[in-house]
Amino acid sequence: IEEKLVCQGCGVTIQSDNKEKPGFVPQSALSNEPVICQRCFRLKHYNEVQDVPYTDGDFLEMISQIAKTKSLVVKIVDVFDFNGSFIKSLHRLTGNNPIILVGNKIDLLPKSTNLSRLKQWMKKSAKDMGLTVQDVFLVSSKTGRGFDQVKHGIESYRNKRDVYVVGCTNVGKSTFINYLISESTGAKDAITTSYFPGTTLGFIDIPLDERSSLYDTPGVINRQQLTHYLSSEDIKMITPTKEIKPRVYQINSQQTLFVGGLIRIDYIKGEKQPFVLYFANSLSIHRTKLEKADQLYYTHLGELLTPPSKDSRGEYPPLQERTFKLSGEKTDIVLPGLGWIAVPAEPITITISSPADVSVSIRTALI
């Protein structure tokens, strides 16, 4: 029996018949050790990502195999894009298996972030979206923070069963697994990682002990993510790479803030207040009078108000308004994929304009 050859980078089945299909390796390179597919090869050596000819349906079909197993599901989300990276449909596909939720990229959060409040919020938000999780862990796959706890958590919740790691593209799933592997084996960069969505292709089998394995699964593409409307240059501007520095704006009512040209915040009613903005440090913020905001947006989108850039602004969906009347607690207005704005505990009215698919939410302030 011929053994099935899989790519050591992404786990896809290797073939050398069709250049356009996943897993292609030229005949001449088949005997290389380790064998990696053309896509991973390019990614590794040229940092270049090729499009994957899988449909969203293919991905979901692959994930739905998990429902037939008895396992622990480890679901990874990006703490910076909780709603955008959550994928509501996922838990229907993973069956009745217990789930733990892992929030990745905590190195990007300001040091003063209240992590236990973040955990509570994640647990509750998951529940509100119909998913009961056993536990929540916060990690940074970049620095290794939180890995002792999450490793311990996986060991105790899996109860000797297999582990499936699921998540939407770009949450850092590969980086997370690489870190787990390098800790236990010392191997570096065992799995391909990249800046762009859609990198991991197949199920990668990583033995945990003689009887069980940890499986990496294809990253599900989530159309609700802001990144799907933006060019790769734009994505670089909105993606934080370092700890976020809060930016404080003293705002009067009837003033507007633009976050690039992506989202607009109108302060409709209330006393002069400090609004604290938590976005990638490279993302520019513009303040103007509410009465001038429409004009500014129409004339300067893609220029002063960027991203989206001049080239990608045509793809960017029209903004839709949503009004919040807040009072009582200090509140974060969360903009999935971008960051959040902390507003004080005063009675205020704010209108947020964002693409219809990008669901704005509120929570008790984390800081």
- Using CB under 6 A as the criterion, which residues of the chain lie in contact with ligand GDP when the complex forms? 104-105, 107-108, 140-142, 167, 169-175, 193-195, 199-200, 219
| Three-state secondary structure call for residue 78 | strand
Specify the residue, 10 or 335, whose C-beta has the smaller distance to ligand GDP.
Answer: 10
Residue 357 burial class via C-beta count within 10 angstroms: exposed 0-12, middle 13-18, buried 19 and up: middle
Closer CB to ligand GDP, residue 172 or residue 261? 172
Q: Which CB, 187 or 356, lies closer to ligand GDP?
A: 187
Half-sphere exposure at residue 255, Cβ-oriented, CA atoms within 13 angstroms: 16
Q: Residue 199 or 331: which CB sits closer to ligand GDP?
A: 199
E strand map for 71-192: 71-78, 99-104, 135-138, 162-167
Q: Which is nearer to ligand GDP, 167 or 270 (CB)?
A: 167
Query: Of 44 and 300, which CB lies nearer to ligand GDP in the complex structure?
Result: 44
How far is residue 11's CA from residue 8's CA, in Å, rounded to a whole number? 6
Q: Which of 167, 164, 172 is nearest to 73 (CA)?
A: 164
Q: How far is the CB of 307 from ligand GDP (least distance, A)?
A: 17
Q: Is the peptide bond before 308 cis (omega within 30 degrees of 0)?
A: yes
What's the closest the beta carbon of residue 181 comes to ligand GDP, in angstroms? 12
Tell me how far apart the terminal alpha carbons of the chain are, to the nearest angstrom. Answer: 59
Q: Which amino acid is at 231?
A: S
Contacts 24+ apart (CB under 8 A), 143-150: 143/107, 144/179, 144/183, 145/106, 145/107, 146/106, 147/179, 147/180, 147/183, 150/102
Cβ-based neighbour number of residue 25 at 10 Å: 21
CB of 167 to ligand GDP, least distance (A): 6
Q: In the complex, what is the shortest distance from the CB of residue 330 to ligand GDP, in angstroms, rounded to a whole number?
A: 26
* Other residues' Cβ atoms within 10 Å of the Cβ of residue 203: 19
Minimum distance, C-beta of residue 210 to ligand GDP, in the bound complex (Å): 27
Residue nearest to ligand GDP (CB): 172
Q: In the complex, what is the shortest distance from the CB of residue 76 to ligand GDP, in angstroms, rounded to a whole number?
A: 7
Least distance (Å) between residue 344 CB and ligand GDP: 29
Backbone angles phi, psi at 292, to 5 degrees: -100, -5
For ligand GDP, give the closer residue by CB, 91 or 105: 105
